[in-house]
Amino acid sequence: MFDPTAYDNLKTVIEGQLYDRDLEGTIDILNRRDLFDSSTMSREFHLVFALRNQQNAQITFSMYASLKNLAAELLELEDKIHLIGAKISLTINVRHENNRETIWMLQDLLQRIWGEEHFIKQEISYDPFRSDNIVNNCISIDFSRLVTEGDMDDLISMTDYMLATLAGLQRQKVLIDIDKKGLIG
């Protein structure tokens, strides 16, 4: 019998949480990608979603496990047990006018929801040939630790934090509708 890996179990939990919210009508799942890289023996999973009918923001939940993570689990080596699990990150996509007030407002909003201990990075891009002052803001939240099967409750509560993030962004009138919804990386 096949024993699912920690990665499989973590993915099943977050998928269940998010697809249940989609079935309830709370969110719309816009895209997903489930990849296995045979050259590096790594796995990654991405799920893009927004609140139902939300046009101004979307979140991509990403999970990654390397060969080291898988080998530590399958080989059951005591000195490698700390490598069992997966890395998780979030990417939030929004658009707004290029001004510091909006950038600082977004930083403050996300730090109030996620806390100071998580690294929040905003990357601004724009089309230099457009005459408007609109930028794409790709915001990443790095959790800088491996998530393990012992963190299942944290993973479940993360769903509520992601929904709170989208709700907070939905209330921001300075955000502009996203052009291309559901894009992954």
pLDDT in tens, 99-153: 999 999 999 999 999 998 899 999 999 988 887 889 999 999 998 889 988 888 9
pLDDT band at residue 1 using 50, 70 and 90 as cut-offs: very low
Give the residue among 19, 18, 46 at the shortest CA–CA distance from 31: 46
**What would the mean pLDDT of 14-29 be, rounded to a whole number?**
97
Q: How many CA atoms lie within 13 A of 122 on its CB side?
A: 20
pLDDT at residue 74 is higher than 60 = yes
User: The tokens 């996509």 sit on which residue?
Assistant: 93
pLDDT at residue 180 is higher than 70 = no
H or E element, residue 135: strand 134-147
β-bridge partners, 123: 138
Determine the pLDDT at residue 150: 87
Neighbours of 83 (CB within 10 A): 17
Q: Indicate the range of 5-9, 48-52, 56-60, 129-133 predicted with least confidence.
A: 129-133
User: The tokens 């050259």 sit on which residue?
Assistant: 39
Q: How wide is the angle at C-alpha 145 spanned by C-alphas 142 and 151, nearest 5°?
A: 110
Determine the pLDDT at residue 90: 97
Q: CB-based contacts of 160: which residues, under 8 Å, 6+ apart?
A: none
In percent, the amount of the chain with pLDDT more than 70 equals 97
Q: Are 57 and 30 in contact (CB under 8 A)?
A: no
**What would the mean pLDDT of 13-22 be, rounded to a whole number?**
96
> Rounded to whole angstroms, how far apart are CA atoms 60 and 62?
6
**What would the mean pLDDT of 73-91 be, rounded to a whole number?**
88
> Rounded to whole angstroms, how far apart are CA atoms 98 and 76?
51
Q: Per-residue pLDDT tens for 87-103?
A: 999 999 999 999 999 99
Give the residue among 37, 59, 14, 35 at the shortest CA–CA distance from 183: 59
**Mean pLDDT computed over every residue of the chain:** 91
- The identity of residue 41, as a single letter, is M
> Rounded to whole angstroms, how far apart are CA atoms 72 and 171?
44
**What would the mean pLDDT of 3-26 be, rounded to a whole number?**
94
pTM for the whole structure: 0.92
Determine the pLDDT at residue 117: 87
Q: What would the DSSP string read from start to end of 32-73? A: EEEEEETTTTEEEEEEEEEETT--SEEEEEEEEE-HHHHHHH
pLDDT at residue 2 is higher than 70 = no
